[in-house]
Amino acid sequence: MITVREVVVPSTTDEAYEALQKNKFATLLGGGGFLRMGSKNITTLIDLSSCGLNDISEQEHEWHIGAMVTLGELERHSALNRDFSQLFKLSVQHIVGVQLRNVVTLGATVYSRYGFSDLITGLLALPVQVKLYKAGTMSLEVFLEKGVEGRDLLEMIIIPKGKTETFTTSLRNSDGDYSLLNASAALFDGNWRICLGARPGRAQLAVKAMEYLNKQSNWNEALEETARMASEELVFGTNSRGTGAYRKEMAKVLVALVLKEVANSETEHNH
């Protein structure tokens, strides 16, 4: 249960950032889904609904997705999903139900760097940039690894356009539950990216496996070895949903699966 003393609804990110810095107990409100699960006494709740962060906009060379866009909007955006082989739909479709996905926001998920996030695993397969109010623009992988100094707010993510094939999948004990393990892969302008999430730590790129696969001339012969390398280079932990050893074994399966899907799509579209 949360208690809130005061709500402010800034109309710009300047006002929102100022309110955030003014009170160290102030809390940003995205959709409020995760806030609902916890217990917190909040003096000032800063609702970002009116800051102009609600748009998905297609630019000439990139997509801009505002922090207050809901997961439901991402799931149903046909042009965005067309450009990235349904990645957004596939990433969020197992998260509880459509009603929750119409509430929870991209920004709250990404800024909070949740380890369990299905969406972050999908996004990390692409060369996504995050645009923060104070810290500026940086790659998603750097943001996930290092975070930012002080308290900042996410304005949008930026996804460059390119020749893209993607796929993402998850392993769950039951549908709608948190993932036990997530995997995603993309072939973006000829370069492979491979990501594992819900390890249960934050999603990470399997850099060595990516380098190995990028050097291969015959991808299909190298997919199994790449999946093995990805499971070896990342660290897997234990929680109530599964052990680290189980996750490591299943990582080989999921990575091989996502790589095969991407390789098959690439073959289909080029031949």
Partner 1 sequence: MKLNTTINGMPKNLEIRPDDYLVDVLRANGYLGVRQGCDTGNCGVCTVHLDGKSVLSCVLLAIKAEGHEITTIEGVPQQAATIANFFVEQGADQCGYCTSGTVMNILYMEQLVEDPTEEEIKHFLKGNLCRCTGYASQLRAIQAYFNLRRQQKSEGQVPRGGYEDENRKPESP
Interface with partner 1 by CB under 8 A: which residues? Answer: 2-7, 9, 29, 31-33, 36-37, 42, 45, 47, 49, 72, 76-79, 93, 96-100, 102-104, 175-176
| CA–CA separation, 209 and 205 (whole Å) | 9
Cis peptide before 10 (omega within 30 of 0): no
Least distance (Å) from partner 1 to the CB of residue 20? Answer: 17
Q: Of 112 and 214, which CB lies nearer to partner 1 in the complex structure?
A: 112
Least distance (Å) from partner 1 to the CB of residue 219? Answer: 31
Q: Of 29 and 140, which CB lies nearer to partner 1 in the complex structure?
A: 29
Distance from first CA to last CA of the chain, Å, rounded? 56
Residue the block writes with tokens 């996502």:
258
Least distance (Å) from partner 1 to the CB of residue 79? Answer: 7
Least distance (Å) from partner 1 to the CB of residue 58? Answer: 11
Q: Of 93 and 214, which CB lies nearer to partner 1 in the complex structure?
A: 93
Spatial CA neighbour of 117 closest among 148, 92, 140, 89: 92
Q: Listing from the earlier edge strand, what are the strands of the sheet with 62-66?
A: 56-58, 62-66, 154-160, 129-132, 136-139
* 236 phi-psi bin (left φ>0, alpha ψ -120 to 50, beta other): beta
Q: How would you class 186 by CB atoms within 10 Å of its CB: exposed for 0-12, middle for 13-18, buried for 19 or more? A: buried
Q: Of 33 and 122, which CB lies nearer to partner 1 in the complex structure?
A: 33
Q: Of 45 and 148, which CB lies nearer to partner 1 in the complex structure?
A: 45
Q: Listing from the earlier edge strand, what are the strands of the sheet with 40-47?
A: 2-8, 40-47, 27-29
Q: Of 54 and 265, which CB lies nearer to partner 1 in the complex structure?
A: 54
Least distance (Å) from partner 1 to the CB of residue 178? Answer: 11
Residue the block writes with tokens 């003096």:
43
Least distance (Å) from partner 1 to the CB of residue 112? Answer: 16
